[in-house]
Structure 1
Amino acid sequence: MKKIHLLSILFFVALLPLTQLKAQEIIKKKGYTLSFESNFAELDPKLKKRLIESFFEVYPKLAKEYNPNTLKEVKFSVDTNYKGVAATSNGKVTFSSIWMVKHPEDIDVVTHEVMHIVQDYGRSVGPGWLTEGIADYVRSKFGVDNPGAKWTMPDLKPEHSYKNSYRITARFFTWIEKNVKSGTIKAVDASLRDHTYTSAIWTKLTGKDLDGLWADYVKNPQI
């Protein structure tokens, strides 16, 4: 009976879709642990190596700069079932196999996504555009190969707003850091993490509210 039961289990496993079978690898380095898994059989080993190397190059720097108490164990998953670009939740970054095949040069999707782990805002008291704007600001500052991905922050256009999020907001934040007050974005990030953030923090840090800062940015957007 035991033999029959074992054969039944093996037969069931053999019938599992390949997309459900994930090879896992655990890498420990610089005081951090990365668990890497993929259900994408055609994942380029060179791309996998770059994803892992980018994590260990960037994550410790972001932890030191923004949140030393961030998670020490992180999981990467390349998933054929995920249709976006990448997403992060509870210390796990899921990458779309489709996106990575089409854009293998976009390695700094790692930088953006692991910054979300470092941010650790929980049930954030801030708006979503701010969270994503900070993550792309960090990508622009700490990215390992943004030029290789042809990733840039777009020049200001009349239809832009600081609430557009991502790269548009990131460029505005870069302007604030260079032309208004260095350290502003780091302070805003910290306030989001400890849930003390209100829109008044911009005036407290820079002397102007967001609308006033944006108005100055529009007048002279050079960075």
Structure 2
Amino acid sequence: MKPLQVLPARALSGILLAGLAGWAPLQAAEVKVTTAHTGDDDAFQSDTVDSPATNDAATDATFKMIAGQADPNGGGLAVLHDGKIPGGADEPRSNFFFSAAGKGGRILVDLGKPIEIGAIATYSWHPGSRSAQKYSVFAADGSAEGFVAEPGEGSPADQGWTLLAEVDTSDEEPGQQAVRLTPTAGKSVGNFRYVLFDIGKNPKGDVFNDTFYSEIDIVDAAGPELVKVEKPVKIKQEFDSKHGEFHYTLDVTEAPDLQQWCAEHLIPVMDEWYPKIIEMLPVEGVTPSKDITFTLKNTTDLPGYLRGVPAYASGNSVVFNAGFMRDQQTGEAIGAGVHEVVHVVQFGGGGERRRERPRHGRRPPTWVTEGVADYIRWFLYEPESKGAEITKRNFERASYDSSYRVTANFFDWVIKHYEKDLMRKLNVATHEGYYDDLWKEWTGKSVEELNEEWKAYHAKKLGIEG
């Protein structure tokens, strides 16, 4: 872990609005902004910013979103003051974040009564740009003339609020970020009942640049001694590849009963197939990660839209639904892992970072990348299972862009009849750019024409009359 920087905020004596005597917000002390960056296993413990507390004044405060739209995959406002921190770097359900469709938003904290605020701290955690914090924080006691308790728009400073500080950590490294606001002198920044966070997007992020806020602390200068959140006890096991150049981390903190099974059955297959997949899908200038983390998580800790899926990949990390893996140890569990490590090769960081945008065309649609992952799974890893067959039951609705198993079947047919190097070429298109005419360049026919031939092939095979 390492400390970052200490930034003196500008002095903030109570601001009198020109010509409006009696509209003066309460005075605030000069505020110092201190930031820190810590590693994934440090629980925000640093030398410059205290780790989150379980009994600060925000614990029993009322949190309300008064502007913006919460992302439904997040954990809601309650996670901001529950005295808990996420168990890992990419846990949407353990964080609050605004929807990517908006422009950030505002969170109002009502402490119930005015208190001498000794410190305000915010904590965020994400492996990418969504760790960066960018916000303005205001405070009020509610007594200013014309006070607006829920300023959903416009400057709060014009509505009876005092600006305490402006925060922007977008230049700092991803990971655990902590920000602490304290008075430069004395014990308190002021006597306030309300705290308002005007939260913006990270200006240096991509489309998903809404910060994963893990916890917000507001410290009563006259309150009890703070109880710090305990560092989670992790159950991890490290594996070196038999090939010598890869390394795997198994995190079974939430499913310790599966540790032995994963070590004996899952990891050996991942180690066998990860190098194979890298060899199948080479892209000049793109080096897949040498390290992969496999994490088993309980269903309730998965994002809402992922609770029904076996697993998902993010960067060089694969997260498994522990319940699914437990139920499918002798079924689809390992195949699901093969599918996800394909995505690690397609999109994972490591070595040279993949391009943020293709040089030509566009990124391939989801049916392409999911079809590639399922082709490698069903036709190369476990062809004997025949898990991607076209049958009379699914023939009618089958299309080249149906994704997953059906698209995998389409790819298998194209490989056998037109282009043996299709997997590599599709992955190159993932990085260099995808456009519809690629199919004509590779096969001499459009994807729609190939689709008609593929359907006709299966109609004949199944005895289905046109």
TM-score band w.r.t. shorter chain: 0.7 to 0.9
Match of 1:49 in 2: 264
- Which amino acid letter does the alignment assign opposite residue 133 of structure 1? G
Residue 36 (structure 1) aligns with: 250
- C-alpha offsets along residues 21-56 of structure 1, whole Å, 9 cap, x if unaligned? 431111111110101111213226124421111111
Q: Which residue of 1 aligns with 2:237?
A: 25
Bigger share in helix:
1
How far apart are the structure 1 equivalents of 2:235 and 2:281? 32
In the alignment, the residues of structure 1 paired with residue 427 and residue 326 of structure 2 have an alpha-carbon distance, to the nearest angstrom, of 32
Q: Is the 8 A contact 1:111 1:142 kept in 2?
A: no
Contact 1:47 1:104 (8 Å CA) reproduced: no
Aligned to 1:59: 274
Q: State the SS of the aligned residue for 1:220.
A: helix
- Aligned residue for 1:26, secondary structure, equals strand
CA deviation string 1:102-160 (max 9, x = no partner): 111221111100000111276671111111011101112431x464xx46112150111
| Superposition map of 1:58-137 within 5 A | 58-67=273-282, 69-80=287-298, 81-82=301-302, 83=307, 84-105=309-330, 106=332, 107-120=334-347, 125-137=363-375
- The aligned counterpart of 1:209 is 446
Give the Cα separation in 1 of the matches to 2:400 and 2:269: 29
Partner residue, 1:165 = 403
Letter in 2 for 1:119: Q
Larger Rg: 2
Measured after TM superposition, the shift of residue 11 of structure 1 is 9.9
What is the DSSP-based 3-state SS (H/G/I as helix, E as strand, rest coil) of the residue aligned with 1:43?
helix
Q: In 2 relative to 1, CA 36–146 (structure 1 residues): closer, same or farther, beyond 3 Å?
A: farther
Is residue 434 of structure 2 the alignment partner of residue 197 of structure 1? yes
Q: 1:214/1:45 Cα in 2 relative to 1: closer, same or farther (>3 Å)?
A: same
Runs of 4+ in 1 over 3 A off after TM superposition: 10-13, 121-124
Q: Does the 8 A contact of 1:67 with 1:119 survive in 2?
A: no
2:452 aligned counterpart, secondary structure: helix
1:5 corresponds to:
none
Give SS of 1:34's match. strand
Normalization by structure 1: what TM-score?
0.83
One-letter amino acid of the counterpart of residue 98, structure 1: G
1:43 & 1:184 partners in 2: Cα distance?
Answer: 36
Note the C-alpha offset of 1:64. Answer: 1.5
Between the aligned partners of 1:219 and 1:146, the Cα distance in structure 2 is 22
Share of identical aligned residues, percent? 24
Distance 1:86 1:216 in 2: 33
| Structure 1: distance between partners of 2:229 and 2:364 | 47
Is the contact made by 2:247 and 2:290 (CA closer than 8 Å) also made in structure 1? Answer: yes
Question: Cα–Cα, structure 1 residues 154 and 113, in superposed 2: closer, same or farther, change >3 Å?
Answer: same
Query: How far, CA to CA, are the matches of 2:379 and 2:290 in structure 1?
Result: 22
Q: Which residue of 2 aligns with 1:185?
A: 423
In structure 2, what residue type is equivalent to 1:77? T
Q: Relative to structure 1, is the Cα distance of residues 151 and 22 closer, same or farther in structure 2, using a 3 angstrom cutoff?
A: farther
- C-alpha spacing 1:193/1:37, structure 2 compared with 1 (3 Å): same
Unpaired runs of at least 5, structure 1: 1-7
1:12 deviates by: 6.0
